[in-house]
Amino acid sequence: VRFPEDLEDDNTTFNPEYSHQVFGDDEVAFGYKGLKILLYYIAGNLSTLFRIEYTSKVNEKFDCVEADDVESKIREIIPPGFCTNTDDFVSLLEKEVNFKPFGMLLHTYSVHNEEAGEDITYQIYKADMTCPGFREYHERLQTFLMWFIETASFIDVDDERWNYFLVFEKYNKDGATLFATVGYMTVYNYYVYPDKTRPRVSQMLILPPFQGEGHGAQLLETVHRYYMSSPTVLDITAEEPSENYVKLRDFVLVKLCQDLLCFSPEKLMQGFSQEMVVEAQQKLKINKQHTRRVYEILRLRATDMGDAEQSRSYRLDIKRRLIGPYKKKQRELAKIRRCLRPEELTNQLNQIDLNMQHEQLEESFQQLVSDYRRVLERLAQA
């Protein structure tokens, strides 16, 4: 909500992707007819209005059946101090002009908005719990995780090893410059013996109204650049990354790596090298596993897949990596052979069909190439 009229505008409304973390696996609230759970957030400081509406409730007519206590389930997520009255909420909205982003400005960028016909400015900040008002703001911000990240949990904000990166949109209202929350990322700094840290991305969320505009890539690249300048950082990883996050990371890391000398077309065609691992880690804080993926994407760009020899060389190179898990299975099979009776061995052998392995390998290869092409298409448009 930026203007009072947004309260009545359905175009500013977005629905949760997940509600099982609040309402159970069936995502059902029992005992209501026409139930609406309404959560409004002021765009900048995220002050909250919470209301429940329904046309009828089961225990108003029946004695022995009770409706679910929806209100208490929501209260477990949203911090105290929220409004339940629209007038109170609108009066808070008038004070929004005083809201300013928390922490240190890291990056400013613009995105062209077709609808508005103009460039809109966005800024990325790094904040921590010492920033006045940030603790309370973060409590409101993290409520979005429950609705948009499938395995979300709230973090221990008293642990000083957390870093917070925030994206804001700058907009004008009655001649004043205001800020709207776009998304954020939390990063935990793990200790690596003897004197390094390994920042691990824990949570990352761009709010639905801003998705598909490139903010995730801007945020991830800014965070990488922030840590790249630190001599104590070993490399940057992510905790249980989603498929979408992996695609985003591929794009950002390839964009960062493509100008390194070790990724020149000539060197790419010679195969994956230790030089790539060292340069990517030292200059860009990228680990070996992610560097290998970057190499495969950039080598695809440098390969003429219409040329039979180049195409075969690329396919073999990728499949040599993909075959690792199958070779592990074969080593396990060799152990099994020494331990099992003949009839038990037959059962195990049936489970490891070689033709199926080849099919799965080819399927994995084709899927990777498809994913890699999408990264390269995006890179060409960037």
Give the catalytic positions in this structure: 239
Q: Are 53 and 34 in contact (CB under 8 A)?
A: yes
Sign for the CA dihedral angle at 168, 142, 75, 30 comes to: positive
Enclosing H/E stretch for 109: strand 104-113
Helical segments of the chain, H only: 20-23, 70-75, 86-93, 134-141, 145-148, 215-228, 243-257, 265-269, 274-284, 288-302, 308-322, 324-339, 342-351, 354-381
Radius of gyration of the chain (CA): 26
Summary count for the chain: helices (H), strands (E):
14, 10
Q: Angle between the 274-284 and 215-228 helix axes, to the nearest 10 degrees?
A: 90
CA distances from 68 to 29, 56, 57, 74, 80 (A): 6, 13, 10, 12, 21
Separation between Cα atoms, residue 48 and residue 144, nearest integer Å: 12
Separation between Cα atoms, residue 140 and residue 316, nearest integer Å: 50
Strand partners, 167: 124, 183
Q: At residue 94, what is the residue type?
A: E
Distance of CA 265 to the CA centre of its chain: 31
Give the closest residue to 70 by CA, choosing from 23, 131, 126. 23
Sign for the CA dihedral angle at 77, 82, 84, 86 comes to: negative
Separation between Cα atoms, residue 48 and residue 1, nearest integer Å: 10
The DSSP letter of residue 223 is H
CA atoms lying within 13 Å on the CB side of residue 327? 6
